[in-house]
Every structure is written in C-alpha cells, then in structure tokens.
Amino acid sequence: LPLPAPRRIKALAQDVVNKIAAGEIIVAPENALKELIENAVDAGSTSLEVVIKEGGLKLLQITDNGHGIDKEDLAILCERFTTSKLKAFEDLSSIGTYGFRGEALASISHIAHLSVTTRTKESSCAWRAQYSDGKFVSPKPGQNAEPKPIAGRGGTQITVEDLFYNVPSRRRAFRSASEEYAKILDMVARYAVHCAGVSFSCKKHGASTADISVPTAAGTLDRIRQIHKATVANELVTLNAENERWGFKCEGWISNANYSAKRTTLLLFINHRSVESSVIKKAIEQTYATFLPKGGRPFVYLSLDIEPARVDVNVHPTKREVHFLNEDEIIAIICDEIRNSLSKVDTSRSFMTQS
Ligand code: ADP
Ligand code: MG
C-alpha cells in the first residue's frame, strides 16, 4: 500500500486550546468549587456560603466576606496566568496561598457563564462583571460590557452557571445531579473541618435549610461533630507529630480502636490544600488493621505542614496530586504516632474494665 500523504500541521484555534486546557483543570463541578473555596480562603474570608443548583451544573455560587477585588483588576481577572499570588518562578517554592498560577477563573470562564460581584474596603460600592472566554461580556446583547456599580457588601460573590454548556461531550458524561451534589458536599465538608475561624454553609438553591453549616467560632472537633456526627466525634483523639530533619509538622484527629467503619474517611490537607494520597491512605489502613476488627476502617483528619521547598505542588493542573521529599520517612513517623496513640487507648480501656 502506498503511504498516505502527510497531513498539514495547523495550529488549533485559540478558543479550542483554551477549552481543552480548561477541561483539564475543571473535570466536574467539585473541581470548580474547590478552586473557588481556595480563592475565598486566600482572600482572608471568615464566612463562606455555597448555593448549588442541579449538582453545580446549573448553578454554583460562592459568597465570601474577604478582601474583595480592585475594580481596576476586573478586566484581567479571568485571563489565563493572571494572579496576585505569584510573581517569579522561584516563588513556587515558598508559596503560602492555595492558588498560584491564575488559571482557575480563566478556565471556568471558558466553559461556563461566570459573573463576579465584588467590593473592597476602599470602594464606595460593589462592582459586577460578567465574563466569557476570559473577557467581559455584556449581560444582554447591545448592553455595555464594562463592570457596573451596584449596592453590595464587602467581599466577593462568584456565580458559575451552565457549566460545560459548550462542551456537550463532557456535559453528557454526568449521570446524576445528586451524585455531583454529594461530591460537592464532600468537598465543602473537608474545608469546613479544616478552616478554623471560617464559617461555612452549603445548600441547594431555594432550600430553607443548609446541608452543611458550621459557625466561625467552632473548634475543629466541633466542626467534625457537626458534619460527621457524634458517633465519630466521640471516638476521636488528637494526633501530633513533627520532625525537624524531614521538615514537617502534623496535627489531626484520629479515631480510636472503638470506632470502626466500612470505609476509611481520610481528610488530608497538605499545606492547607485538600489532597488525596493513596500511599498515605494505605499506610494508615495497615496501621489500624491490627487494632480494628477485620474489615474495620478508621476516620482520620490530618493537616500536614511540610516546608514549601520540599513540596512539589506544580505536578498537575488539578493540584490534587502532591508529592514531597522523604514521603516514606514522614509517613512512617505519622503511622508510629498513630500506633502509639491506639495502644495507649487500649491500655486505658483494659485498665478501666479491670478496676
Ligand atoms: P490564582 O488563585 O491561582 O491566583 P485564580 O484564577 O483562582 O488564580 O484567581 C485569580 C486572581 O483573582 C487571584 O490571584 C485573586 O487576586 C483574585 N481572586 C479570585 N477569587 C477571589 C476572591 N474570592 N476574593 C478576592 N480575590 C479573588
Ligand atoms: Mg485560585
């Protein structure tokens, strides 16, 4: 057979490139929500309200009381790689805030209708702007696309509507709104446990009661009690571990040997970012295996602070996969501490039943 003639190579249109890039960062409504929560926390908010319609596919709205956004910055807010958090490549190794490369809002604006209402302390009013493909768009054809002054409180409200409206294949992939809502609740719950000093609420649009609600003043154990109920909270003990050589510090709440569930609940934060780690999960399950009945699984909330220079957060756009130096050594120290703690509880129990 004759070889086929080579096809000519052409650059993809910019809007196609942007859509593809956006789809890598925002795979489901929960990814968009995570970015928005992190932005709100970065802005110093002490209150965070989430409202959801159709599992976040129709509406995803988050209202915070943080420092707001300067009116002058609104024009570039949703452009790719615009950020207030990173200036030089070297900053990546000392980054203290959640977001760091200015991709989240840009991505969302390429695959949803995005509007922002924001007010800083210095501003005499709030400003509202709508975005599409990174740029201002007018709310209705023929209207002005510039930000509009409106009345509003200090802070920022981000409204994301019709997620994936222009990515039909992705849109079709969602089986049920309630499944997506469950994932959203799980994500809000994680940050609601972790972010001390911040109130959280999450509800469906039009619902009179919130599905998650924690007040600003609640301590970590109270937050767990509100969200995961007393059956979990009553069986928790604190965990602390640190090691200078490996440059880490770890705090958390872990279930004792009286608690046993069908599945592991692992709330894992590394440098205040919710992450998943199958390596850490497996190590924890193995540690608990000798203390729990067969098939029993623990509840573990861990907040791990690792020297930023030892963490590579730049591995994947979703920033979910975090890798750090000396993972094995750090995990071993944490699991030793868990083992200590579990055997302590064991002895006190047998002591109590003996006396
Ligand atoms: P990044 O968080 O990586 O900087 P984003 O696209 O998530 O990128 O946000 C871009 C910028 O918009 C942020 O750097 C921040 O200055 C501003 N911003 C976004 N959300 C908020 C918010 N809720 N409150 C205040 N500023 C915000
Ligand atoms: Mg961000």
Convert the pLDDT of each residue in 246-305 to its tens digit.
999 999 999 999 999 999 999 999 888 898 888 899 999 999 999 999 999 999 999 999
Q: How far is the C-alpha of 236 from the C-alpha of 313, rounded, in Å?
A: 30
Same domain membership, residue 320 and residue 261: yes
Q: How far is the C-alpha of 353 from the C-alpha of 240, rounded, in Å?
A: 27
Pocket test for ligand 1, best of 84, 92, 114, 121 (most atoms within 8 A of CB): 84
Residue 35: what pLDDT? 92
Same domain membership, residue 188 and residue 92: yes
Could you tell me which residue, 13 or 345, shows the higher pLDDT?
A: 13
Convert the pLDDT of each residue in 140-155 to its tens digit.
888 899 999 999 999 9
Assign residue 162 a region (left: φ > 0; alpha: ψ between -120 and 50; beta: otherwise): left
Q: Which residues line ligand 1 (CB under 6 A)?
A: 35, 39-40, 43, 64, 66-69, 77, 83-85, 99-106, 156
| Nearest atom within ligand 1 for CA of residue 68 | 25
Same domain membership, residue 37 and residue 79: yes
Given a contact cutoff of 8 angstroms between Cβ atoms, the answer to whether 285 and 252 are in contact is no
Nearest-CA residue for ligand 1 atom 23 is 40
Could you tell me which residue, 15 or 322, shows the higher pLDDT?
A: 15
Q: Residue 117: give its domain's CATH number.
A: 3.30.565.10
Residue 329's CB is within 10 A of a number of other CB atoms, namely 13
Could you give the C-alpha distances from 229 to 21, 26, 124, 165, 180, in angstroms and in order?
A: 39, 31, 43, 37, 22
Ligand nearest to the CA of 65: 1
> Is 130 part of any domain?
yes
Given a contact cutoff of 8 angstroms between Cβ atoms, the answer to whether 223 and 214 are in contact is yes
Range of the domain at 260: 229-349
> Is 94 part of any domain?
yes
Same domain membership, residue 237 and residue 170: no
353 has a pLDDT exceeding 70: no
Same domain membership, residue 182 and residue 286: no
| Listed range (27-41, 183-197, 253-267, 315-329) with the worst mean pLDDT | 315-329
Pocket test for ligand 1, best of 39, 46, 87 (most atoms within 8 A of CB): 39
